[in-house]
A and B are shown apart, each in its own frame.
Chain A
Amino acid sequence: MLRSRSLPKQLPMMLGLILALLVLSIIASLMFGARSLTLQEWISGLVHPDADNYAASVVEKRVIRTLFGLCCGAALGTAGVLMQSVTRNPLTDPSILGVNMGAALFVVCGMAFFQIMSPYQYIGFALAGALLTAIFVFGIGSMGRGGATPLKLVLAGAATSAAFSSLVTAVMLSRSFVMNQYRYWQVGSVGAGTWETLLLMLPFLLAGIALAVMIAPALNAMALGDEAAAGLGVKTGLFRAVAVFVGIVLCGVTTAVAGPIGFVGLLAPHVIRMLMGADVRLLVPLSALAGAIILTVSDVIGRLAGRPGELEVGIVTAFVGAPLLIILAMRAKV
Chain B
Amino acid sequence: MIPMNAQAIEVMRKVRIGRRRRWALVTAALAVLSLALCAAMLLLGNTFYPVRDVLAVLAGEEIQGATFAVRTVRLPRMLAGLLAGFAFGVAGYTFQTMLRNPLANPNVIGITSGSSAAAVFCIIVLQSNKAVTSIVAVIAGLLTAVLLYVLAQGRSFSIGRLILIGIGVQAMCNSLISYLLLIGGEHQIPAAVRWLTGSLNGVKMEEMTPLLLASLLLLPLMLALGRPLAMLELGEQAAAALGVPTDRVRVMLMIAAVVLSAIATSVTGPIASVALLAGPIANRLVGIGGSNLLPAGLVGAVLVMAADLVGQFAFPVKYPAGIVTAIIGAPYLLYLLVRMNRKGKF
Contacts A140-B341, A151-B164, A329-B164 hold; do A323 and B172 have CB atoms under 8 A apart?
yes
- Are the C-beta atoms of B344 and A170 separated by less than 8 Å? no
- Give chain B nearest CB distance to A130 CB in angstroms: 18
Instruction: Report if B314 contacts A (CB, 8 A).
Output: no
How many chain B residues touch A (CB < 8 A): the figure is 43
Instruction: Report if A5 contacts B (CB, 8 A).
Output: no
Interface centre among B172, B272, B323, B327 (most CB of A within 10 A): B172
A-side contacts of B168, CB under 8 Å: 322-323, 325-326, 329
- Are the C-beta atoms of A140 and B158 separated by less than 8 Å? no
Identify which of B158, B172, B323, B340 contacts A173 (C-beta below 8 A): B323
Identify which of A173, A322, A325 contacts B175 (C-beta below 8 A): A322
B-side contacts of A158, CB under 8 Å: 167
- Are the C-beta atoms of B334 and A326 separated by less than 8 Å? no
- Are the C-beta atoms of B182 and A162 separated by less than 8 Å? no
Instruction: Report if A206 contacts B (CB, 8 A).
Output: no
- Are the C-beta atoms of A334 and B176 separated by less than 8 Å? no
Identify which of A145, A315, A321, A329 contacts B161 (C-beta below 8 A): A329
Instruction: Report if B60 contacts A (CB, 8 A).
Output: no
- Are the C-beta atoms of A144 and B344 separated by less than 8 Å? yes
Identify which of B160, B175, B341 contacts A318 (C-beta below 8 A): B175
- Give chain A nearest CB distance to B228 CB in angstroms: 28
Identify which of A159, A174, A262 contacts B315 (C-beta below 8 A): A174
- Give chain A nearest CB distance to B229 CB in angstroms: 25
- Give chain A nearest CB distance to B325 CB in angstroms: 9
- Give chain B nearest CB distance to A310 CB in angstroms: 8
Contacts A149-B346, A330-B165, A332-B161 hold; do A159 and B175 have CB atoms under 8 A apart?
no
- Are the C-beta atoms of A331 and B154 separated by less than 8 Å? yes
Identify which of A143, A170, A316 contacts B319 (C-beta below 8 A): A170
Identify which of B152, B172, B333, B346 contacts A159 (C-beta below 8 A): B333
- Are the C-beta atoms of B342 and A309 separated by less than 8 Å? no
CA distance A144 to B337 in the complex (A): 11
B165-185 vs A, CB cutoff 8 Å, 1 = contact: the mask equals: 101110110111011001100
> Can you list 16 A-B contacts (CB < 8 A)?
A144-B340, A144-B341, A155-B337, A160-B334, A166-B330, A169-B197, A174-B316, A315-B175, A318-B172, A318-B174, A318-B175, A325-B167, A325-B168, A326-B169, A332-B161, A334-B161
Given contacts A146-B346, A152-B337, 14 further A-B contacts (CB under 8 A): A144-B340, A144-B341, A146-B344, A149-B346, A160-B334, A169-B326, A170-B323, A174-B315, A309-B182, A319-B172, A322-B168, A326-B168, A329-B165, A330-B151
Of all A-B residue pairs in the complex, the 10 with the closest CB atoms, nearest first, are: A163-B330, A166-B326, A334-B160, A329-B164, A144-B341, A325-B168, A145-B344, A326-B168, A322-B171, A318-B175
